[in-house]
């Protein structure tokens, strides 16, 4: 069986033949019907495979979400256990514990001291970042105004399989 590309090419070539007055109308109609039927069969096969791939991707995505949730839960559990161990070590007044397999110690974090805010920060310590107002640009373009830095693009198309 021909590929979808070959069938499309055959169809376009046949349409060119339609313009030739010497083309046998019955042969043209029979060939056209055959190509159209082949394209329909090929399109149906594509639709089936697209549906299967989409369903499989959805199952994988759902499984990935489940595994990520599980991993997050394990990380939270480990974090709570670390906090509990550090609390216990603080309560008994020790900074180090040595076991057969581990050396456990409480250490201060490195880096710069964190800043804690107790009220409104004055404007001189604020940074304003410019943001594009896409709504205003869209309104201007849709009202017919020409802007040298923007234009309305095409919405695009997609294949719909029901």
| Residues paired with 82 in a beta bridge | none
- Report pLDDT for 34: 87
- Report pLDDT for 82: 96
Using an 8 Å Cβ cutoff, are 85 and 106 in contact? no
- For 54-92, give the secondary structure using H, E and C: HHHHHHHHHHHHHHHHHHHHHHHHHHHHHHHHHHHHHHH
* Collapsed DSSP state (helix, strand, coil) of residue 151: coil
- Report pLDDT for 75: 97
- Report pLDDT for 28: 82
Residue numbers in the chain where pLDDT is lower than 50: none
- Report pLDDT for 20: 82
Tokens of 19: 């313009």
């Amino acid at each position: 069986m021909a590929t979808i590309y070959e069938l499309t090419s055959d169809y376009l070539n046949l349409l060119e033949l339609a313009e030739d007055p010497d083309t046998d109308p019955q042969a043209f109609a029979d060939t056209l019907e055959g190509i159209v039927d082949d394209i329909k069969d090929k399109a149906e096969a594509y639709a089936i495979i697209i549906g299967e791939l989409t369903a499989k991707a959805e199952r994988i995505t759902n499984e990935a979400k489940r595994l990520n949730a599980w991993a997050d839960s394990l990380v939270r559990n480990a974090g709570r256990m670390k906090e509990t161990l550090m609390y216990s070590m603080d309560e008994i007044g020790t900074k180090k514990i040595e076991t057969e397999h581990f050396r456990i110690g409480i250490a201060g974090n490195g880096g710069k001291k964190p800043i804690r805010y107790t009220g409104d920060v004055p404007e001189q310590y604020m940074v304003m970042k410019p943001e594009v107002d896409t709504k205003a640009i869209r309104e201007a373009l849709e009202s017919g105004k020409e802007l040298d830095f923007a234009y309305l693009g095409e919405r695009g198309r997609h294949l719909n399989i029901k």
